Structure 1
Amino acid sequence: MKLNSCSKAPFMRWLCSTQTVLAMKLTVILIFFGCLQVSADGFSQKITLSEKNTTFNALFENIKKQSGYTFFYNNKLIKEEGRISIEMEEVSLEDALNQIFKNRPYSYMILNKTVVIKKKIIEKEASSRGKLWLFCRLREKW
């Protein structure tokens, strides 16, 4: 004896129809992608800064309060840079950092929730380091 649940009741026949199943699948997919879009929008950090003649330490503290990112840097190097005046509204963390370090001898890396700030390597230094490394490697082989 074969029981077919789709033919017993009119509701079950409607539920088992191909068009209904396709409509349900499409609805689930649209809801899923809608949720992904909302969650991706929530992760972007927007920074607003309006600082005049402030230190980099104070600027980094302000960004930390707004974004939750921790800053890791050599305090001596940053103190040498002096003061900065900057204004920006509702920009991403990367855009804010790019604008802050524009025309300055520093670069940054974002690792997890930490911004690591370091001095840029000048091309001459980089090429001489490469030559030194190559020399040491060749010397090891002899």
Structure 2
Amino acid sequence: MKILLILMTSVLMQVSASTFAQKITLNEKQASLVSIFEKINKQSGVDFLVNIDLLAKAKPVSINVNNEELSVVLDKIFEDQPLEYTVKDRAVLVTKRRPPFSIAWLVAGLLLTCMVGWWIRKGSRYRGRR
């Protein structure tokens, strides 16, 4: 009985994993993101959530993939786009790409903080000595 339970569990987990690992085949040249999203939706059933204004900023996509996993295909599609994506359940949320964190901004912020702190301390010394 325990062996049957273990076998059933492993079979169900395999079916679940293969369902999520959808294989996509695309051969497109200079296609819009909307048309690519529609073709991926037809092949995998994945929905795309995106603001129309963001699609206006998207570049045309050329892609040629055969039986690739959804994550690989999405990585290739969004490689040179000003957009990024997040997969949640059976939906892909498309958002504007955030600028990368820069150490220069961190150093500039710390320097500014130190300068303002010095100015406040220096100014407070002279306020009482008129």
Instruction: State the TM-score bracket (shorter-chain normalisation).
Output: 0.5 to 0.7
What is the 5 A alignment of 1:1-142? 25=2, 27-28=3-4, 31-39=7-15, 40-123=17-100
Structure having the larger proportion of residues in helix: 1
TM-superposed CA distance for 1:48, in Å, is 0.8
**Counterpart code for 1:52:** K
> Structure 1: any 5+ residue segments left out of the alignment?
1-23, 132-142
TM-superposition CA deviations, 1:37-71 (whole Å, max 9, x none)? 54132332111111112111101111111111111
| Partner Cα separation in structure 1 for residue 54 and residue 65 of structure 2 | 24
Kept in 1: contact 2:59–2:81 (CA 8 A)? no
| Partner Cα separation in structure 2 for residue 46 and residue 99 of structure 1 | 14
> Structure 2: any 5+ residue segments left out of the alignment?
110-130
SS at match of 2:79: coil
Q: Number of residues paired by the alignment?
A: 104
Q: Could you tell me the TM-score, scaled by structure 2's length?
A: 0.66
**Counterpart code for 1:82:** K
Identity %, equivalent residues: 31
TM-superposed CA distance for 1:30, in Å, is 5.6
Q: CA RMSD in A?
A: 2.5
Question: Who wins on radius of gyration, i.e. which is larger?
Answer: 1
Runs of 4+ with >4 A deviation? none
